[in-house]
Amino acid sequence: MAKAPAHAFASTLKTFKTASGKSGKYWSLKELARQYPTVDRLPVSIRIVLESVLRNCDGQKVSPKHVEELAHWAPNAERTDEIPFVVTRVVLQDFTGVPLLADLAAMRSVAAKLGKSPKTIEPLVPVDLVVDHSVMVDYYGTPKALELNMKLEFQRNNERYQFMKWGMQAFDTFRVVPPGFGIVHQVNLEYFARGVYKSSSDNADVPVYYPDSLVGTDSHTTMINGVGVVGWGVGGIEAEAAMLGQPVYMLTPDVVGFELTGKLREGVTATDLVLFVTAILRAEKVVGKFVEFFGPGAASIAVPDRATIGNMAPEYGATMGFFPVDEMTVAYFEGTGRTKEEVELFESYYKAQGLFGMPAPGDIDYTKIVKLDLGTVSPSLAGPKRPQDRIDLGHLSTKFSELFSKPNDANGFNQPAERLKLRYPLTASGRGDDEEAAPPPPKAGSVTIGNGDVLIAAITSCTNTSNPSVMLAAGLLAKKAVEAGLTVKPHVKTSLAPGSRIVTEYLEKAGLLPYLEKLGFYLAGYGCTTCIGNAGDLTPEINDAIVKNDLVGAAVLSGNRNFEARIHPNLKANFLASPPLVVAFAIAGNVMVDLMTEPVGKGKNGKNVYLGDIWPTPKEIDDNLRFAMNARSFRENYDKVKSDPGKFWSSIKGTAGQVYDWPESTYIAEPPFFADFKMAPHASDAGFKGARIMALFGDSITTDHISPAGSIKESSPAGIWLKAHGVPKADFNSYGSRRGNHDVMMRGTFANVRIKNLMIPPDVNGTQEEGGVTLFQPGNQKMFIYDAAMKYMEEGVPTVVFGGEEYGTGSSRDWAAKGTQLLGIKAVVARSFERIHRANLVGMGVLPLQFRGADSWQTLGLKGDEKIDVVIGGQLKPQMDVKLVVHRADGSHQEVTVRLRIDTPIEVDYYKHGGILPFVLRQLLA
pLDDT of residue 900: 95
- Report d(CA 45, CA 259) in Å as an integer: 15
pLDDT of residue 445: 55
pLDDT of residue 432: 41
Cβ atoms of 699 and 409 closer than 8 Å: no
pLDDT of residue 812: 57
Q: Give every residue of the chain whose pLDDT is below 50, as ranges.
A: 429-436, 440-444
What's the pTM value of the predicted model, to 2 decimals?
Answer: 0.85
- Report d(CA 667, CA 745) in Å as an integer: 10
pLDDT of residue 428: 57
pLDDT of residue 443: 45
Q: Within 725-851, where are the H helices?
A: 742-748, 785-794, 814-822, 835-843
pLDDT of residue 435: 45
The tens digit of pLDDT for each residue in 408-443 reads 888 899 999 999 999 999 875 444 444 445 554 444
pLDDT of residue 3: 61
pLDDT of residue 431: 44
pLDDT of residue 827: 96
Cβ atoms of 571 and 455 closer than 8 Å: yes
- Report d(CA 589, CA 491) in Å as an integer: 8
Residues in the chain: 926
CB atoms within 10 A of CB 21: 6
> What DSSP state is assigned to residue 384?
S
> What DSSP state is assigned to residue 188?
I
Q: Within 22-89, where are the H helices?
A: 29-35, 44-55, 64-71
Element housing 339 (H / E):
none
- Report d(CA 604, CA 485) in Å as an integer: 5
pLDDT of residue 133: 87
Rounded to 10 deg, the angle between the 303-311 and 270-283 helix axes is 40
